[in-house]
Amino acid sequence: MDSPASKTQSENLSSIQQQVVDFFVDGVRVLGLPRSIGEIYGLLFISSEPLSLDDLVQKLGISKGSASQGLRTLKTLGAVREAENINDRRTYYEPATELKRLVGGFIREQIRPHLDSGKSKLQQLNETAALSSDPTERAFFDERLERLESWMKRGRQVLPILQKILGQ
Amino acid sequence: MDSPASKTQSENLSSIQQQVVDFFVDGVRVLGLPRSIGEIYGLLFISSEPLSLDDLVQKLGISKGSASQGLRTLKTLGAVREAENINDRRTYYEPATELKRLVGGFIREQIRPHLDSGKSKLQQLNETAALSSDPTERAFFDERLERLESWMKRGRQVLPILQKILGQ
DNA sequence: TAGACTGTTCAAAAAAACTTGAACAAATCC
DNA sequence: GGATTTGTTCAAGTTTTTTTGAACAGTCTA
């Protein structure tokens, strides 16, 4: 017989593990990432040995599907790497713990793409604004679009600085 | 007779208005805010005159409830202010367009609270870690928790710098 | 003070996001 | 090669979040 397994509880985690997992579940939520990602990263973070996909499934009580997808995302973000574990058929994972790397991955995967797509949308917008026949209206649009441009420019300026500050 | 009104389309918006609204819908999504917030802010941003709650309801085709709650959130974020419009019973809103203010509000409302709650959770964690009897394990926990602390410290350091850079 | 109007609240409905699990592909083993 | 194990994929199910709309509270008007 197995327990009902409430949201964040797994009888397989020690108190501290559970707390750290919860900590990261909250953390990734702020970043707009799903809870399973926080659970996985959190458990890896507070495990002294690398863990396999099956370890995660068992200890966290999540599905293989979630674990697989979560690990993929975390790898893409550069937040997790495969351990050089040797003699086992399965892959073991360990967390990247350098803030620089974590922030860099997040910026690369989650921020930059939006800044980039925003840039092209802005071009579109400028074209649409140019169609306006009323000069007053046109002037207003231009002013606002320029502001938008300046925001995005600032955004692009800030990212490298941010990475620099956070990278030691 | 009224149209089906698909997700983001309203026959009441000009092409440029629609594009700007979409732009912001995408934008706030990155920040983890609901679409209606993006719609409201977007329309205010590209309107040369302040708008009332009813204006928003009609032009965006959203419910009064959404508009009311969205405006509240935007006010809390400091992203929208009431216009000194005078002779009308209803309240008119205009967007705050200074990046400094927008970023400041977001940090104050969405980031700081999490950093603060994280700080207290970390304290809890340290207490739990102290209960560990195995010294090797204990050392590992301490090392990781220290890292967590250093991350949060960096976070708190970075925010004012960020605000400074973005504020002209 | 009744009537009209503006805006808020919140339970229920709808939509969006996430997770599951079973089918599948790929690699390893014997 | 056939059996076994590891990991991926994705449609369907579940959970969470957002939106709606009707009831209500507060204001103004006459």
Q: Does B135 touch chain A (CB under 8 A)?
A: no
pTM: 0.91
pLDDT band for position A7 (50/70/90)? very low
Query: Are B19 and A124 in contact (CB < 8 Å)?
Result: yes
Instruction: Please give the pLDDT value at position A10.
Output: 53
Query: Are A19 and B99 in contact (CB < 8 Å)?
Result: no
Strand ordering across the sheet containing B92-95: B51-52, B92-95, B80-82
Q: Closest by alpha carbon to B162, among A111, A109, A160, A31?
A: A160
pLDDT band for position A53 (50/70/90)? very high
Angle at which helix A35-45 crosses helix A64-76, to 10 degrees, equals 80
> Do the beta carbons of residue A35 and residue A41 sit within 8 Å?
no
Instruction: Please give the pLDDT value at position B4.
Output: 32
Q: B58: phi > 0 → left, psi -120 to 50 → alpha, else beta; which?
A: alpha
Contacts of B32 in chain A (CB under 8 A): 30, 32
Q: Give pLDDT tens digits along chain B (168 positions).
A: 333 333 445 568 999 999 999 999 999 999 999 999 999 999 999 999 999 999 999 999 999 999 999 999 999 999 999 998 778 889 999 999 999 999 999 999 999 999 999 999 999 999 999 999 999 999 999 999 999 999 999 999 999 999 888 876
Q: Is B52 helix (H, G, I), strand (E, B) or coil?
A: strand
| Mutation site, B13, B15, B16, interface A, largest A CB count within 10 A | B16
pLDDT tens digits, residue range B8-42?
455 689 999 999 999 999 999 999 999 999 999 99
Is it the case that residue A60 has pLDDT exceeding 90?
Answer: yes
